[in-house]
Amino acid sequence: ILRETFKKLPPEMIETNFQVRGKVVEFALILPNGKRLPIDSKWVAGKLILALERETDQQKKKEIIEEVEKEVMRRIKEVKQYIDPDLTWSQAIAAVPDSVYAVCKNAHLKAREENVILMPYSMVLPLLLYIYRFHLQYAISLDLESLQNHLIAIAKNLEEMENILENKIYRGATMVSNAYLEYKQLISRIKSSIEEIKLKGSKEVKKLK
């Protein structure tokens, strides 16, 4: 479906079979700064949609919707792997059939947490045009954008480190409690530094507008 949609765009705006981290994503929007916005539109659970359309029992329809959303969640995790601070924008797009998008309740929040934009097929073209125009009009320098993307990745890693401290080290070994507290303080300082850099970066972006 999207292949036909993208024929409406200039060839230099869309790349097919874009490779990132050893994986291939169907499409990518080529942004003005040379980076790519990964776009995945594969949907393999067509039988679930057909079953949902035919089902009349409300309880069974609810069960099918739950299965549909589980499949969407799985797709979101897969699409997240296409994000690379050196090659791509800080987000990726997971496009799904309009009928799938309409029944999702929790997947939108999950997508946001994973820096994935979940959207129906019918909205892909308008959004891509908006994103491209936005980048063209308010272009951020390549170095600054790369910095912002890496800061996002660092912040996520710090969250994982903190979870490990909470769930494994602190609970499993009281003898390292002092090290635990020091570690927590260091993480807090790093997070504060990251927020300061992001804030300064945002101010620089505003100056460019």
pLDDT tens per residue, range 57-87: 888 888 888 888 899 999 999 999 999 988 9
Q: 73 φ, ψ to 5°?
A: -60, -40
**pLDDT tens digits, 93-115:** 999 988 888 888 888 888 988 99
Residue 34: pLDDT band (50, 70, 90) is confident
Residue 193 is predicted with a pLDDT of 67
How large is the average pLDDT for residues 146-151?
67
Mean pLDDT in the chain?
Answer: 79
Beta bridge mates, 120: 96
**Residue 61 Ramachandran class (φ > 0 left, ψ -120 to 50 alpha, else beta):** alpha
Distance CA 123, CA 116 (A): 15
pTM above 0.85, yes or no: no
How many C-beta neighbours within 10 Å does residue 133 have? Answer: 11
Q: Minimum mean pLDDT among 73-77, 129-133, 150-154: which range?
A: 150-154
**pLDDT tens digits, 12-32:** 999 999 999 899 999 999 998
Query: Residue 208: enclosing H or E segment and its boundaries?
Result: helix 177-208
